[in-house]
Structure 1
Amino acid sequence: MTESFVDTLGVHGRTADDGTAHLQLDATEQHLNEAGTVHGGVLATLVDTAMGQAVRSLTGEDDVPATSQLTVTYLRAGKPGRLAAVGRVSKQGEHLTVCEADVEQEGRTLVHAVATFAVLHT
């Protein structure tokens, strides 16, 4: 079995139940940008993954949540250390689901995101 993108990134502690998902990443030097802070793409990946898992916790086994819109608001810079992301389903429609997510470090919110997911039935 090949390693997934988030596994390669170092994401761990993934749990999802009843429309809420949690995951963690221990940010190291490899996750930093040239300014020495956690790369924005890493943070965007964390919120996207957390929200996708939150959606999946409410769908069928063969359903695949696909991000159709993602807005990430970067509130403050992250540094090496533990990052914790929480994704939550906010509204569920017939074909689209709206979610929110946050990434925190040391009790401070780094990122807030809102996304719309379509659920693909395979």
Structure 2
Amino acid sequence: MSDTSFVETLGVYGRTAEDGTAQLQLDVTDQHLNEAGTLHGGVLATLVDTAMGHAVRSRTGEDDVPATSQLTVTYLRPGGPGTLQVTGRVSKQGEHLTVCEADVEQDGRSLVHAVATFAVLHR
């Protein structure tokens, strides 16, 4: 089994999370593009899901695991090679469910806005 996580394999770096807000970055390369030559939507969905999961985790206990139960990704414009800035934040936190939002920007322009609901599982 590899010690490299899925998001590390994608090239995600600069992950931070504190008090319900998380940030991460990705330098988009040709590997991340679809056949049309734009940033693959699945990569963007992975990035917002990851950022929001880290935002939730920054507000839970060590043994709690956030699990995505719903994810809506709105693609605003295509992305391409270059650096992405991803921010995820907790919007509403209930006893068992947490609602988050995330945004992806490239060169100061919004590419994606996402909303997700996370169930917090207790180990």
TM-score by length of 1: 0.99
Shift, 1:97, TM fit: 0.1
Give the corresponding residue for 2:41.
Answer: 40
Which residue identity does 2:35 align to in structure 1? Answer: E
- Cα distance per residue 1:25-48 (max 9 Å; x no partner): 000000000010000000000000
Q: Secondary structure at the match of 2:80?
A: coil
Counterpart Cα distance in 2 of 1:119 and 1:7: 23
Give the corresponding residue for 2:72.
Answer: 71
In percent, how many aligned pairs have the same letter?
83
Shift, 1:22, TM fit: 0.2
In the TM superposition, 1:11-26 aligns within 5 A as 11-26=12-27
Q: Secondary structure at the match of 2:86?
A: strand
Give the corresponding residue for 2:84.
Answer: 83
Counterpart Cα distance in 2 of 1:119 and 1:8: 26
Give the corresponding residue for 2:3.
Answer: 2
Structure 2: runs of 5 or more not aligned: none
- Cα distance per residue 1:66-94 (max 9 Å; x no partner): 00000000000000010010000000011
Q: Secondary structure at the match of 2:48?
A: helix
Q: Secondary structure at the match of 1:111?
A: strand
- Number of aligned pairs? 122
Structure 1 runs (4+) greater than 4 angstroms displaced:
none
Shift, 1:62, TM fit: 1.3
Shift, 1:102, TM fit: 0.3
- Aligned-residue RMSD, C-alpha: 0.6
Counterpart Cα distance in 2 of 1:96 and 1:21: 18
TM-score by length of 2: 0.98
Structure 1: runs of 5 or more not aligned: none
